[in-house]
Amino acid sequence: MDQSKRPKKPSGAQFRKRRKEEKRAKDKSHTGLFRDCPGAIYLLSLMFLAGLLRDISHTEQLSVVIRVVSLTEEKPCIKEHFMGFLEAEESTGLHLASLIPKRLEELKVRFEDCRGEAYDNGANMKGKNKGVQARLLQINPRALFVPCEQVEAVSQHAS
């Protein structure tokens, strides 16, 4: 392929601008998260992607997915919402656990309504003493930990 016909890669400034625009669009789209499932509870699914998903800015990220479940209707309502990535300056359980309630507050989602947390099996996530699991259980003891792999397996067998 001729060098002059190759698509030009975005500069760092263009990339950051595009990411900010995408973030604003995602923030606006999650304001009615529970509107479709009245009386819903939810499962917070988190995965810390250290070193696995680094973008051009070389930032470690935490992906956040919320699975909304409502059993109050005639037919159960189950929906999954990708809430975006949280940039993580550190990979400690303390730092990662501090990011999550802030993000949920921005989305106007009550962490007290969360009934489950699903993480990858990293020590910083599932650690019983200093991991994200331990720290979030101190805030909400009703949000029980389930490994991500088990949540996915149950979802596949249930459908």
For the stretch 132-142, pLDDT in tens is: 888 888 988 88
Tokens coding 79? 């929906």
Tally the residues of the chain: 159
Average pLDDT over residues 28-39: 60
20-24, 29-33, 111-115: range with highest mean pLDDT: 111-115
The percent of residues above 90 in pLDDT, for the chain, comes to 0
C-alpha dist (Å) from residue 88 to 95, 100, 142:
8, 11, 26
pLDDT at 152: 53
The CA distance from 64 to 81, in Å, is 9
| Residue 41 forms part of a structural domain | yes
CATH number at residue 144: 3.30.420
| Residue 9 forms part of a structural domain | no
Tokens coding 60? 């470690």
pLDDT at 90: 85
Tokens coding 112? 């007290």
| Residue 4 forms part of a structural domain | no
* 24 vs 105 pLDDT, higher one: 105
* 135 vs 155 pLDDT, higher one: 135
**Domain count for the chain:** 1
- Residue 79 sits at φ, ψ, to 5 deg, of -135, 145
The CA distance from 60 to 52, in Å, is 8
Range of the domain at 88: 15-26+34-148
The CA distance from 16 to 32, in Å, is 27
